[in-house]
Structure 1
Amino acid sequence: MSANKIPDFQSIMLPLLKHLGDGQPHTLSEVIASLATVFKLTEEDLAILVPSGQQRLFKNRVTWAITYLKNAGLLYYPQRAVYQITESGKKVIEAKTDNINLAYLKSFDAYKKWQGSFSQPADPAKPTLEPSSNTPEEVIGVTIGTINEKLSLELLELLKSKPADYFEFFVLRLLSKMGYGGVNAENFEVVGKSGDNGIDGIIYQDQLGIDRVYVQAKRWSDAKVQSKDVRDFIGSLSLRGTNKGIFITTSEFTADAIKTVQMNPQNRIILIDGKQLAEYAITYNVGVQIKTVYQVKALDNDFFDDL
């Protein structure tokens, strides 16, 4: 399952207009189902989400294709979420046009008028976005992803430079924010020291400390966690009469280390490498802070329907 299989919104335009070529009104679900057949998309393909995870990727691209075609005067909305071809749209189909994209739409006065309605005079001091095959939501998602990747690298480098006990406290605070530790957000204990038998922290899942999760934290720069390290951790858990633990590192786990966990399903061991650690920290705002909030808004059609 790959997003690369999903056609971009410009590639969707012509098949979409052809689907409406019968002159009848069509619902969004009908359009999506028809186009999915045209592009031979599976249910798994249709389930792929945009980077933000807020909408299905193919649906997002179809709706943007509809928006552009509508503003070029090639289709219209006879009612909410229903689409129908216009006379201009029929002429495009009759002309046997072999491709519809943003460059092609510029030949329509309606499209140029729409573009001009929100275009601002060029300001050399402001960055501009060139026309893209990605929808605005995708561009936003990719941009945020790039920012977070850079932040992840910076966070890991900082953690690697800190003392071991600092790192141990950090991972326990993170796990607590992720929901481990029950109702008490500070229900954890750093125990990592000489003679700790391979346990760096304990998270108490209940107020009496009966249910516990044991944590091993490796603040390593380059060395990968080996299978032996995982086996030692499993042994440490066994000494404490439990099989439930989380092994976290700033580096990576070798394939054999991962296999060791998979081959011992009776032990409930979770492995978190540096990349995952940084992603969780960013998601749960541990060691990072919100710099800027952007809101993407859409029409509230229910509001207008209720008037």
Structure 2
Amino acid sequence: MKWIGVCEQPGKALYQLTELGRTISDEEVAQRHRERGRRYRKRQQERSTSGIDTRDATEGDDDDVRHWEAELLDRLINASPTAFEHLAGALLRAAGFDDVEVTGRGGDGGIDGIGTYRPSGLISFHTAFQCKRYKGSVGSSTVRDFRGSFIGRSDRGIIITTGSFTRDARDEAARPGANPVDLIDGEALCELLKEHSLGVRTTQRTVEDVTIDESYFKQFEYSQ
């Protein structure tokens, strides 16, 4: 979502809507994603036909650099429900949650797992989480139903999806006076998996930048 201008990243794994993101429709978001995908595929095809190795593509091109994200999301969407739930549990453990337990899809009113987050030694939050392997958008009714399933059993909830959330869903998740529900969409999920090295390996590449030092050559111009 950041790459089409509807949200920005003020901090690590922290996302917020831009002015465009607060006004753009879901259909316009989908259209921008499709257009971005077409541009990426066209560039890859052009590089392939011209003999350029796409693995060595310039890192300044966001579309090329982040092709791993689309590949990862495709892998997650095609995972089994149980595998995706256990991956979510592993992510929460890596992010600092304790007592994480995957309860499974069979029951518990839509709760796929639970855990406890202790940001300090003074307080803790009992947290329920739900997993959605979606290609599309998760709506506000999903947020409401999930909140209803954990009220009285958890302090807050997390919905993790491979897709996105509608604007109404985000409003519902942050509704004043209601138990908070944190939303992790596909892009944020990829970033978190990368950050914690869960199923994603990052290789650092050094780019050599060579410039001409004119001052060095000038010394020879004045030599006798």
Q: Provide the TM-score with structure 1 as the length reference.
A: 0.44
**For residues 195-234 of structure 1, what are the structure 2 equivalents within 5 Å?**
195-205=107-117, 211-222=125-136, 224-234=137-147
Distance 1:194 1:259, change over 3 A: same
What is the rounded CA distance, in whole Å, between the counterparts of 1:225 and 1:284 in structure 2?
Answer: 25
**Which residue, out of 227, 241, 247, partners 2:159?**
247
What is the rounded CA distance, in whole Å, between the counterparts of 2:65 and 2:179 in structure 1?
Answer: 33
Deviation at 1:248, TM superposition (A): 0.8
SS at match of 2:97: coil
Deviation at 1:275, TM superposition (A): 1.1
Aligned to 1:192: 104
**For residues 75-114 of structure 1, what are the structure 2 equivalents within 5 Å?**
none
Aligned to 1:264: 176
Runs of 4+ in 1 over 6 A off after TM superposition: none
* Structure 1: gaps spanning 5 or more residues: 1-48, 50-124, 128-138, 182-186, 297-307
SS at match of 1:290: coil
**Which residue, out of 153, 168, 176, partners 2:85?**
168
Q: Judge conservation of contact 1:243–1:266 (CA < 8 Å) in 2.
A: no
SS at match of 2:176: coil
**For residues 296-307 of structure 1, what are the structure 2 equivalents within 5 Å?**
none
Question: Percent sequence identity over matched residues?
Answer: 33
What is the rounded CA distance, in whole Å, between the counterparts of 1:256 and 1:166 in structure 2?
Answer: 29
Q: Judge conservation of contact 2:174–2:180 (CA < 8 Å) in 1.
A: no
SS at match of 1:197: helix
Q: Judge conservation of contact 2:132–2:161 (CA < 8 Å) in 1.
A: yes
**For residues 36-55 of structure 1, what are the structure 2 equivalents within 5 Å?**
none
Residue 69 of structure 2 corresponds to residue 152 of structure 1: yes
SS at match of 2:131: strand
Q: How many residue pairs get matched?
A: 151
**For residues 128-139 of structure 1, what are the structure 2 equivalents within 5 Å?**
none
Question: If each structure's strand is expressed as a fraction of its own residues, which one has the higher value?
Answer: 2
Residue 90 of structure 2 corresponds to residue 179 of structure 1: no
* Structure 2: gaps spanning 5 or more residues: 1-9, 11-50, 119-123, 209-224
SS at match of 1:166: helix
SS at match of 2:66: helix
Report Cα offsets for 1:169-205 as digits up to 9, x if no partner. Answer: 1112112212222xxxxx4111122222110011234
What is the rounded CA distance, in whole Å, between the counterparts of 1:292 and 1:146 in structure 2?
Answer: 18
Deviation at 1:126, TM superposition (A): 10
What is the rounded CA distance, in whole Å, between the counterparts of 1:220 and 1:275 in structure 2?
Answer: 13
Residue 152 of structure 2 corresponds to residue 235 of structure 1: no
Distance 1:230 1:126, change over 3 A: closer
Deviation at 1:148, TM superposition (A): 4.8
Q: Judge conservation of contact 2:113–2:128 (CA < 8 Å) in 1.
A: yes
Report Cα offsets for 1:97-150 as digits up to 9, x if no partner. Answer: xxxxxxxxxxxxxxxxxxxxxxxxxxxx999xxxxxxxxxxx75x35x555521
What is the rounded CA distance, in whole Å, between the counterparts of 1:148 and 1:235 in structure 2?
Answer: 40
**Which residue, out of 282, 293, 296, partners 2:194?**
282
Q: Judge conservation of contact 1:249–1:274 (CA < 8 Å) in 2.
A: yes
Structure possessing the higher radius of gyration over alpha carbons: 1
Distance 1:265 1:202, change over 3 A: same
Q: Judge conservation of contact 1:243–1:269 (CA < 8 Å) in 2.
A: no
Q: Provide the TM-score with structure 2 as the length reference.
A: 0.58
